Chains A and B, each alone.
Chain A
Amino acid sequence: MPSLRDIRRRIVSVQNTRKITKAMEMVAAARLRRAQLRIESTRPYALDMLEFIGQLVRYLQVDPNEYPLLRKHEEIKRVAVIALTADRGMCGAFNSNIMRRALERVDSYAAQGIESDLVILGRKGFSTARFQGYRVDKAYLDVTEQTAFLDAQAITEGVIRRYTNDIIDRVHLVYNRFKSPMEQYVTDQILLPIQEELTSLYCPLDACEHMDFLFDPSPEAILADLLPSYVEIAVYRAILEGMASEHGARMTAMRAASDAASEMIDDLTLAMNRVRQASITREILEVVAGADALSG
Chain B
Amino acid sequence: MTEAETPSLYLDLVAPSGRVYSGEVAMVVLPVSTGEVGILPRHAPFVGQLSIGRLRALTVDGDWLNFAVAEGFVKVQFGKVTVLADAAERAEAIDVERAQRSIERALHRLEMYHTGTVPEDDHVDPFREQLAIKRARNRIKVAGTV
Contacts and interface: CB of A to CB of B under 8 A. Distances in A.
Interface of A: 38, 41-42, 44-45, 48-49, 52, 56, 149, 157, 206-207, 210-217, 219, 221-222, 225-226, 229, 233, 236
Given A49-B84, A211-B45, A216-B48, A222 B17 contact: no
Nearest to B85: A45
A214 B17 contact: no
B130 interface: no
B34, B37, B46, B77: residue with the most chain A Cβ atoms closer than 10 Å: B77
Nearest to B17: A41
Contact of A213 (B19, B37, B47, B72): B47
A29 to B, nearest CB: 22
Given A48-B84, A49-B84, A214-B47, A42 B75 contact: no
Contacts of A211: 45
Contacts, number: 78
Nearest to A139: B121
B11 interface: no
Q: Mostly helix, strand, loop or mixed at chain B's interface?
A: strand
Contacts of B19: 41, 44-45
Interface in B12-65: 12, 14-19, 32-34, 37, 44-49
B75 A52 contact: yes
Given A213-B45, A226-B73, A45 B33 contact: no
Given A42-B17, A45-B18, 4 more contacts: A214-B46, A215-B46, A215-B47, A216-B49
A42, A44, A210: residue with the most chain B Cβ atoms closer than 10 Å: A44
Contacts of A38: 17
A222 B47 contact: yes
A56 B73 CA distance: 12
Contacts of B77: 207, 210, 213
A117 to B, nearest CB: 15
Contact of A149 (B12, B17, B34, B73): B17
Contacts of A48: 12, 14, 82, 84
A46 to B, nearest CB: 8
B84 A216 contact: no
Contacts of B16: 42, 45, 149, 233, 236
Given A44-B19, A216-B32, A52 B46 contact: no
A42 B47 contact: no
Contact of A222 (B44, B45, B73): B73
27 contacts: A42-B16, A44-B12, A44-B14, A45-B14, A45-B15, A45-B16, A45-B19, A45-B84, A52-B82, A149-B16, A213-B46, A213-B77, A214-B44, A214-B45, A215-B46, A216-B33, A216-B37, A216-B48, A217-B48, A219-B47, A221-B49, A222-B47, A222-B48, A226-B73, A229-B72, A229-B73, A236-B16
Contacts of B14: 44-45, 48
Contact of B84 (A52, A212, A217, A236): A52
A41 B125 CA distance: 29
A76 B75 CA distance: 37
A44 B82 CA distance: 11
A225 B84 contact: no
Nearest to B15: A45
A12 to B, nearest CB: 43
Given A42-B17, A45-B84, A216-B32, A225 B47 contact: no
